C-alpha cells in the first residue's frame, strides 16, 4: 500500500556506437563488447503514471502507451515482451496499471531508432518506482539496474543511461565492464574528444528494413562471426589508446572501419541485406574527398540503416557545417538532418 498512484518522468538520450554491437546470445547478452558516444539532442521524454490495481488482479500486465498524446496500440507487443523479461527483477509490475506517455525530440519517421532512448527512459521510470518501494537503493545500484533493465528492452538502450562514453560487454581494459549493463568509460580522454559533434543526415526515413532481432540473429553461424567478435575487442583496445593520446586519425580509421564492417556482416550473411542507399555512398565519397582536400578530421559512422552520422571535433564545427550544407544536404531526404553532440546521459524531470 506504499504506492497507490503517482508518476515519474525521465528524459533519456539516444547513443551512437563507435565499436558496434552486432550479434547476441540468449537474454540479450552481447556477442562482443561495444562502446558508444551518448547523444544530447536526440532523446525521448517519458512519463510513467501508475495506479494500484485491485487485489484480485491477475498475473497479466496492464498498460497503455501514448506517443505524442496518441494511443499507440502497435507499441503493445514490444512493451509486453519487455515487461515479461523484466518481471522477475521488478515483482511489483503486475500490481499496477501503467500509463506510458512518450515524446521523441526527433521526427517519428526519421529512421532514427527510438528504441535506445525509449527503452532506457521506461527502465529509469520503473527504477524510480522501485526506489520509492525500496528507499535504501543506492545511486550506483539504481544506475546499474536501470541499464540492466534497459538492456532487456533493447540491447543498445543500456548505453543510454550515462555519458559521454559508455562501454557495454566485458572488455579487459574497461573498468567494471560487464555483459549485463553499460558502464561509463572512466579512462583518460583527450580534449579533442570533448563535445564531439554528430550531425545525422537522414538519407532514408522509412521503417527499418531489418529488425534488430533479425539483424543480430544473422551473426549466428555467420562465416566471419568469430573473427568479427575478436576484431571488436581489438578495436576497443585501439580506441582506448586513441582516447588517451588524442590520435584523431586513428579514431577516424577505427570508427569508419567499424561502420563498414557492420554493413559487411549484413552483406555476407544468409539471408543478405544491403542497407546503404546510393546516397549513403555518395555522402561517404564526399566526406573522403573533403578530408583529402582540406585535412579536415570529419568522419562518418552508420547504424543498421542508410542514414549517416557525421562525426567531427567541436573546433571544426564551422567548416564542417558549411561543408554539410553545401555538399551533403542535397543527398538527404527532404534535406533533413539533425545537429547533435555528445551528451551526459538521462535525467529525471
Ligand atoms: O539495440 P539493438 O538490438 O537495436 O541493436 C543495435 C545495433 C546497432 O545499432 C546496429 C549497433 C549498436 O551497437 O548500437
ipTM: 0.98
pLDDT for residue 57: 66
Instruction: Write out pLDDT tens, residues 34-73.
Output: 999 999 999 999 999 999 998 766 789 999 999 999 999 9
d(C-alpha 318, C-alpha 326), whole Å: 12
For ligand 1, say whether the CB of 276 is within 6 Å of any of its atoms. no
> Helix, strand or coil for residue 47?
strand
Architecture label for domain 195-341: 2-Layer Sandwich (3.30)
Instruction: Write out pLDDT tens, residues 145-183.
Output: 999 999 999 999 999 999 999 999 999 999 999 999 999
Instruction: Find where cell 581489438 sits.
Output: 234
pLDDT for residue 1: 52
Question: What are the pLDDT tens digits along the chain (349 aa)?
Answer: 578 999 999 999 999 999 999 999 999 999 999 999 999 999 999 999 999 998 766 789 999 999 999 999 988 999 999 999 999 999 999 999 999 999 999 877 666 778 999 999 999 999 999 999 999 999 999 999 999 999 999 999 999 999 999 999 999 999 999 999 999 999 999 999 999 999 999 999 877 788 888 999 999 999 999 999 999 999 999 999 999 999 999 999 999 999 999 999 999 999 999 999 999 999 999 999 999 999 999 999 999 999 999 999 999 999 999 999 999 999 999 999 999 999 999 999 9
pLDDT for residue 107: 79
d(C-alpha 159, C-alpha 21), whole Å: 11
| Closest ligand 1 atom to Cα of 15 | 14
Question: Mean pLDDT for the chain?
Answer: 95
| Closest ligand 1 atom to Cα of 113 | 4
d(C-alpha 168, C-alpha 36), whole Å: 9
| DSSP percent split of the chain into helix, strand, coil, nearest 5 | 45, 25, 30
pLDDT for residue 7: 97
pLDDT for residue 321: 98
| Closest ligand 1 atom to Cα of 159 | 14
Rg for the chain, CA atoms, rounded:
20
Cα of 307 vs centre of ligand 1, distance in Å, is 14
* Global pTM value: 0.96
d(C-alpha 203, C-alpha 24), whole Å: 27
pLDDT for residue 111: 67
97 and 53 Cβ atoms separated by less than 8 Å: yes
pLDDT for residue 316: 98
Cα of 21 vs centre of ligand 1, distance in Å, is 6
Fold match between domain 5-189 and domain 195-341: no
Q: Whose CA is nearest to atom 9 of ligand 1?
A: 303
Architecture label for domain 5-189: 2-Layer Sandwich (3.30)
pLDDT for residue 54: 84
Q: What is the DSSP letter of 91?
A: G
Give domain limits for the chain: 5-189, 195-341
Amino acid at each position: 500500500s506504499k504506492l497507490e498512484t503517482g508518476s515519474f518522468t525521465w528524459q533519456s538520450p539516444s547513443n551512437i556506437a563507435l565499436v558496434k554491437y552486432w550479434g547476441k546470445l540468449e537474454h540479450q547478452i552481447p556477442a562482443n563488447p561495444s562502446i558508444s558516444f551518448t547523444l544530447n539532442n536526440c532523446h525521448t521524454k517519458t512519463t510513467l503514471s501508475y495506479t494500484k490495481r485491485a487485489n484480485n488482479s491477475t498475473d497479466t500486465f496492464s498498460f497503455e502507451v501514448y506517443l505524442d498524446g496518441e494511443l499507440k496500440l502497435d507499441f503493445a507487443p514490444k512493451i509486453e515482451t519487455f515487461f515479461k523479461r523484466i518481471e522477475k527483477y521488478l515483482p511489483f509490475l503486475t500490481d499496477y496499471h501503467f500509463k506510458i506517455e512518450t515524446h521523441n525530440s526527433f521526427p517519428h519517421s526519421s529512421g532514427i531508432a527510438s528504441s535506445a532512448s525509449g527503452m532506457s527512459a521506461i527502465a529509469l521510470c520503473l527504477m524510480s518506482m522501485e526506489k520509492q518501494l525500496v528507499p535504501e537503493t543506492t545511486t550506483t545500484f539504481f544506475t546499474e539496474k536501470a541499464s540492466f533493465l534497459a538492456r532487456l528492452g533493447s540491447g543498445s538502450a543500456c548505453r543510454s543511461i550515462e555519458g559521454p562514453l559508455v562501454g557495454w560487454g566485458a572488455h579487459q581494459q574497461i573498468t567494471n565492464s560487464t555483459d549485463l549493463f553499460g558502464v561509463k568509460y572512466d579512462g583518460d580522454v583527450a580534449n579533442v574528444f570533448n563535445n564531439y559533434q554528430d550531425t545525422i543526415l537522414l538519407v532514408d526515413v522509412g521503417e527499418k528494413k531489418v529488425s534488430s532481432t533479425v539483424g543480430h540473429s544473422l551473426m549466428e553461424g555467420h562465416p566471419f562471426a568469430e573473427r568479427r567478435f575478436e576484431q571488436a575487442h581489438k578495436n576497443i583496445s585501439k580506441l582506448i589508446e586513441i582516447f588517451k593520446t588524442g590520435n584523431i586519425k586513428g579514431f577516424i580509421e577505427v570508427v569508419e572501419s567499424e561502420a563498414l564492417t557492420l554493413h559487411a556482416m549484413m552483406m555476407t550473411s544468409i539471408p543478405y541485406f544491403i542497407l546503404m542507399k546510393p546516397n549513403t555512398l555518395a555522402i561517404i565519397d564526399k566526406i573522403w574527398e573533403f578530408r583529402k582536400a582540406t585535412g579536415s578530421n570529419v568522419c562518418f559512422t552508420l547504424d543498421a540503416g542508410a542514414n549517416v552520422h557525421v562525426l567531427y571535433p567541436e573546433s571544426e564545427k564551422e567548416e564542417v557545417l558549411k561543408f554539410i550544407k553545401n555538399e551533403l544536404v542535397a543527398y538527404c531526404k527532404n534535406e533533413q538532418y539533425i545537429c547533435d553532440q555528445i551528451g551526459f546521459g538521462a535525467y529525471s524531470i
